[in-house]
Amino acid sequence: MSPIEYHTAMGIEQSKIDSGILDESSYALISKYTKLKRDDILAWQERFIQQCPGDTRTMNKEQFCKFYKELRPQENVNHLSESVFRVFDLDGDHGISFTEFLRAYVATTEASLEQKLRYAFDVYDIDKNSLIDRTEILLVLRSMFELLGMSNEPDKYSYEQCADNIMKNLDSNSDNRISKEEFIQGLKDDSFLQSLMNPFQHV
């Protein structure tokens, strides 16, 4: 579902989304889809707006990365936050609105394992073609090693070795690409790969 379809399904007018002004029915619908109480939505909205410059009601990449680091203070998400920004920016306009943020943040913190893995897949799917290749895995592994406090040690377990093992274990049809279905099922079946590749494992 696209962001506009999502907002339409929730019955929220685009003008309200852009202005950051939501009426009672809008809060009720957001609550229905996120399972958050109205007071929690208001608290998140206030915290979100404080991060936005002027009256824009949206965050750019720099502002979001700073905010995301505050949300995960015990973890090193310096590089990961840039990938998360790309995934949370549902309409690809290089800015994140409050509803985009809340939908994605709840899905990556409160949702089921499968939903978290769907977002995790999107972190790796840099070119958004619904497939992951070895190059994309390598680009994200640096962030994951950083998050997990691991170092790139060629003599022990390097990015290259890790990427090779991931392709071997998840590419079930040997086409040198990993589909979303292969990714989700593979990580469900392999707890080590899940801990290594799921950036939302512990949030």
CATH number for the domain harbouring residue 162: 1.10.238.10
**Domain end: 53, 80, 109, which one?**
109
Strand partners, 97: 58
- For the cut 70, the answer to whether the pLDDT of residue 18 exceeds it is no
- Average pLDDT value for the chain: 85
C-beta of residue 132 within 8 angstroms of C-beta of residue 186: no
- For the cut 80, the answer to whether the pLDDT of residue 8 exceeds it is no
76 and 15 within one domain: yes
C-beta of residue 88 within 8 angstroms of C-beta of residue 96: yes
Residue the block writes with tokens 């949370």: 88
21 and 89 within one domain: yes
Angle, CA of 112, 69 and 92, to the nearest 5°: 70
103 and 18 within one domain: yes
Count the domains in the chain. Answer: 2
- For the cut 80, the answer to whether the pLDDT of residue 98 exceeds it is yes
What is d(CA 201, CA 203) in angstroms, rounded to the nearest whole number? 6
Angle, CA of 67, 87 and 139, to the nearest 5°: 95
| Residue partners of 95: CB distance under 8 A and separation at least 6 | 56, 58, 59, 60, 89
Nearest one of 44, 33, 46, 39 to 3, comparing CA atoms: 33
**Domain end: 89, 109, 129, which one?**
109
59 and 128 within one domain: no
21 and 83 within one domain: yes
pLDDT for the residue numbered 59:
93
152 and 140 within one domain: yes
Structural domain including 143 reads: 113-197
pLDDT for the residue numbered 185:
97
- For the cut 60, the answer to whether the pLDDT of residue 13 exceeds it is no
- For the cut 60, the answer to whether the pLDDT of residue 148 exceeds it is yes
150 and 138 within one domain: yes
**How many angstroms separate the Cα of 132 from the Cα of each of 43, 75, 154, 202?**
36, 25, 23, 23
175 and 163 within one domain: yes
What is d(CA 126, CA 86) in angstroms, rounded to the nearest whole number? 8
C-beta of residue 123 within 8 angstroms of C-beta of residue 81: no
Q: Higher pLDDT residue, 165 or 34? A: 165
Model confidence at 64, in pLDDT bands (50, 70, 90)? Answer: very high
Assigned domain for 80 exists: yes
What is d(CA 102, CA 34) in angstroms, rounded to the nearest whole number? 8
Assigned domain for 202 exists: no
142 and 93 within one domain: no
- The DSSP output letter for 153 is B
128 and 67 within one domain: no
